[in-house]
Structure 1
Amino acid sequence: MITDPIADCLTRIRNGCLAKKDIIYIQYSNIKKNILNILLEQGFIVNYKLTKNKIIKVYLKYIYPKKHSVIKYIKRISKPSLRKYSRSKNLPRVLNGLGIAIISTSKGIITDKLARKNKIGGEIICYIY
């Protein structure tokens, strides 16, 4: 039994990048799908597909010829034991704006830049760059 499925998803992505895997598999949930959708829009992964037995197939992105991962850093911030919330004015800037923070708001799961633009705060899920 997994106590923190989002942390498990991020750890699978991190470990897959370190092991230079092309495809990783993640158990399906709507939150994970929304996080992967943001990663796809921001260019951190190539694609993802939902299989019939509710498993997400994630295609990781690399820079060739040496096969360096596009994702250098991915970290869970708000944990079940300690939630981290932030107002729109105090949202973190990851790597001075080069990275992204994924925020869970009342309008759904969005990036920190979009949350700042719409002036919405929320729970800080993770940092990625």
Structure 2
Amino acid sequence: MAINDPIGDLITRIRNAQMRRHSKTVVPASKLRGWVLDVLAAEGYIRGYARVEKEGEKPTFEVELKYFDGEPVISNIKRVSKPGRRVYSSVSELAPVRNGLGISILSTPKGVMSDQAARAANVGGEVLCQVY
């Protein structure tokens, strides 16, 4: 099955797994998905992920979801820039998510990073998603 929006697919799989209180979810592997998962792991929204390669199958990421007191750490995750409408932001236009309690994940010329890292590196880019 062809996936037109790989980041949207990743976000939906994480959201659906957390609604069902799964401890892990499986996502098709790609570089961009790996970079987004790196940011989520570094910011503490997921426990981590591992690349799984089986004989005769395409590689996947096994994402370990994080819960606190039985509730998911990610209360809301939403796609901002979509294939039909790309959203770009300069460093001066990056607004904090939930007054700094959440993050935006950006694709910048210096790589995929959180909004705080983008402000520190003084770069803007495509706003992929918001997490809080």
TM-score after normalising by structure 2: 0.94
User: For the residues of structure 2 that align with 1:117 and 1:79, how far apart are their CA atoms?
Assistant: 25
The residue aligned with 1:38 is 39
RMSD: 0.8
The residue aligned with 1:9 is 10
User: For the residues of structure 2 that align with 1:37 and 1:116, how far apart are their CA atoms?
Assistant: 18
Task: Choose the corresponding residue for 2:121, options 99, 103, 118.
Answer: 118
Deviation of 1:92 after TM superposition, in Å, equals 2.3
Q: Show CA shifts across 1:73-105 (max 9, x none).
A: 100000111000011000121001110000000
Deviation of 1:118 after TM superposition, in Å, equals 1.4
Mapping 1:1-129, distance limit 5 Å: 1-53=2-54, 54-64=59-69, 67-129=70-132
DSSP 3-state at the match of 1:36? helix
Q: Which amino acid aligns with 1:59?
A: E
User: For the residues of structure 1 that align with 2:84 and 2:72, how far apart are their CA atoms?
Assistant: 30
User: For the residues of structure 2 that align with 1:39 and 1:23, how far apart are their CA atoms?
Assistant: 14
Structure 2 segments unaligned to the other structure (5+ residues) = none
The number of residue pairs the alignment matches comes to 127
Structure 1 segments unaligned to the other structure (5+ residues) = none
User: For the residues of structure 1 that align with 2:120 and 2:68, how far apart are their CA atoms?
Assistant: 31
TM-score after normalising by structure 1: 0.96
DSSP 3-state at the match of 1:32? helix
DSSP 3-state at the match of 2:81? coil
Deviation of 1:40 after TM superposition, in Å, equals 0.6
